[in-house]
Amino acid sequence: QRDTWRKDIQPGDIKDSINEAAPDKIKSLVVSEVSREFHPNFSAKWRRYLYIFPLDEDAKPISGDELSSMILENPEYKASRSFDVAKVDKIIRQLEGKMLSYKIFARDTQASRSDGPAAECFMFHSRAAVTKLYSADENCKEGATVMCIELVANRFLRKMVRVLVATTIREAAAGANEDALLNLMDATCRRATAPPAPAEGLCLVDVGYEDFDEQRCFIVE
């Protein structure tokens, strides 16, 4: 079998080349050598997502007409009139430490990934909190008040994060019990959950190839 791996290129060379290619747009922090058996998707033990949702300046229960245009102008997403971030946090925390089937929270999945073990995910971490989001522009001193939802799981189904976010906000606005999401797990129709929240608020923060450590997260006790 022909050896296709270059021996004359070191991880540091790759890091430098990436950083020199587009210094204002992308930056490589770490480049490391892995075995030939490594697969960036199948070797991963967990993924960490953030969903950033704009709030009003008081960071109290908010109203739909105060949300950003990216949410109000999305025809598939109908913002709840008001919700409390603390309530969102209580509801979404109920998913932590549980292996559950998230088929009801997925969208556009193949039949083979819509039921059974293929739809099961283990949620390591699920929290919500209010924070400030600052611009990279040095002239912009005022930060925007946002709700940040942080989710870490061994895997996520298609559009699962966005549906979880939208459904949690809907349930919090309706004054639902803390186990609202758990109760929806047994639903048979995906219309029981909310349409996906806009993609603009979604960020893939990290993919882990070692055991999960909660101290890596932004929202901790």
At the top level of CATH, the class of 45-216 is: alpha beta
Say how far apart CA 148 and CA 130 lie, in whole Å.
6
Instruction: Give the Cβ contact number of residue 15 at 10 Å.
Output: 16
The pLDDT value given to residue 133 = 83
The pLDDT value given to residue 135 = 74
Residue boundaries of the structural domains of the chain:
9-38, 45-216
Q: How far does Cα 141 stand from its chain's mean position? A: 27
The pLDDT value given to residue 71 = 42
Say how far apart CA 94 and CA 96 lie, in whole Å.
6
Say how far apart CA 176 and CA 197 lie, in whole Å.
19
Q: What is the pLDDT tens value at each position of the chain, 221 positions in all?
A: 456 677 888 999 999 999 999 888 888 988 988 888 999 889 999 999 999 998 865 444 433 333 334 344 444 444 444 688 999 999 999 999 999 988 889 888 776 566 677 789 999 999 999 998 877 776 766 778 899 999 999 999 999 999 999 999 999 999 999 999 999 988 888 889 999 999 999 999 999 999 999 998 999 87
Phi, psi of 192 (to 5 degrees): -70, -20
Say how far apart CA 154 and CA 46 lie, in whole Å.
4
